[in-house]
Amino acid sequence: MAISRTRLDRFISEHCQVNRKAVRLYLAQQRITVDGIIIKNVAHIVDKFSLICMDDKVLQANEARYIMLHKPIGVVSATKDEQHKTVIDLLPYSDKRELHIVGRLDLNTSGLVLLTNDSRWSEALTQPESKVEKVYQVTLKNPLTSDYIQAFEQGMYFEYEGITTLPAKLRILTSHSAEVVLLEGRYHQIKRMFGRFRNPVVALHRSAIGQLSLDYSLKVGESRLLTSQEVAMINNNS
């Protein structure tokens, strides 16, 4: 049974198929614990990752998972695809089908992808008001000029959506490469922004989300669990 946030009495009632009166009795008898603590309050709030036990029998013990993947080119950011390998296919974890992607990359973009089973964490990272920076390394077909910097800072109007992009930072690295920092993730945004200069993107790679940088000890296609410090680092961005 997967829940987001709900009252403990509702969880016990639905999980054990008993009425609320029986649940109140269980609580009064001190038979139920949440995260190791005896709970008597029927209105106590639990979530998907609360450890819930009754009479020392585990009713729920979901573990929050936070994963970093070094995404290759040619792999889609999807849970299923009939034509291409997906980022989920690359993962070695037995519970990978329960994960979802936090901030997708398109087929021809490589770099940092985050995956989790914690929807509140992913929503906090992706909602526009969070303004979490995403850092990209871009290789262009044609040379760059300083005009690009101002244009990215001002934002660009996308007629199809009827919106103006948030200010973006552009730092020229070489004549044909730049670092771009976005606060949002519009459809093919970077390619479309450089498209205003008729300058095709040759390669695109995401190197960081907020304060969390891709671990380059991971080979392309490899993944690992985030450390508790890295999860906290991302939480501090949201």
Q: How many other CB atoms are there within 10 angstroms of residue 136's CB atom? A: 22
DSSP string, the chain: ---SEEEHHHHHHHHHT--HHHHHHHHHTT-EEETTEE---TT-EEETT--EEETTEEEE-----EEEEEEPTT-BSSS--SSS-BTGGG---TTGGG-EEES---TTEEEEEEEES-HHHHHHHHSGGG---EEEEEEESS---THHHHHHHH--EETTTTEEPPP-EEEEEETTEEEEEESS--TTHHHHHHHTTT--EEEEEEEEETTEE--TTSPTT-EEEPPHHHHHHHHTT-
Q: Could you give the residue numbers annotated as active site?
A: 106
Owner of token pair 């929050």: 64
